[in-house]
Amino acid sequence: MSEHASHEMHQHSLDAHEEERAAGKLSKRCQLISDVLGWERLTDREILERTPYRDMNAIRPRVTEMIQAGILEEVGEKRDKLTGKMVRVVARRNRQTTLF
């Protein structure tokens, strides 16, 4: 049984992503993921099912990048309905707002 190679995003990539996010710019795919999530908690597959994409590789790397950039966070896990394996559940990072 093989395992996926693990890799870290280069700091320059993380910095560029953070700069784009801070400027209100996300790639179209990341923006779609953010829009699909809203304030729900979803698995990568549930996100995929709400997009025009059909390949997990279109979603999973972007979700991981968004977690590393602090846009999303892992908030739990649950059993994937297709594979039966435990998978991550993600959500937008909580942003506290102050009401005046």
pLDDT at 20: 56
Residue range 9-23, pLDDT digits in tens: 566 655 655 655 555
Query: In sequence order, which ranges of 6-59 are alpha helices (DSSP H)?
Result: 11-22, 28-37, 44-49
Residue range 71-87, pLDDT digits in tens: 999 999 999 999 999 99
pLDDT at 3: 46
CATH tag for 11-92 (out of 1.10.10.10, 3.40.50.720, 2.30.60.10, 3.40.50.300): 1.10.10.10
Positive or negative torsion for Cα 36, 32, 73, 95: negative
- pTM comes to 0.70
Name the residue ranges covered by the structural domains of the chain. Answer: 11-92
pLDDT at 79: 97
pLDDT at 50: 96
Each as own residue / partner, the long-range contacts of residues 75-83 (CB below 8 Å, 24 or more positions apart, any chain) are: 75/41, 76/41, 78/43, 80/43, 80/45, 81/45, 82/45
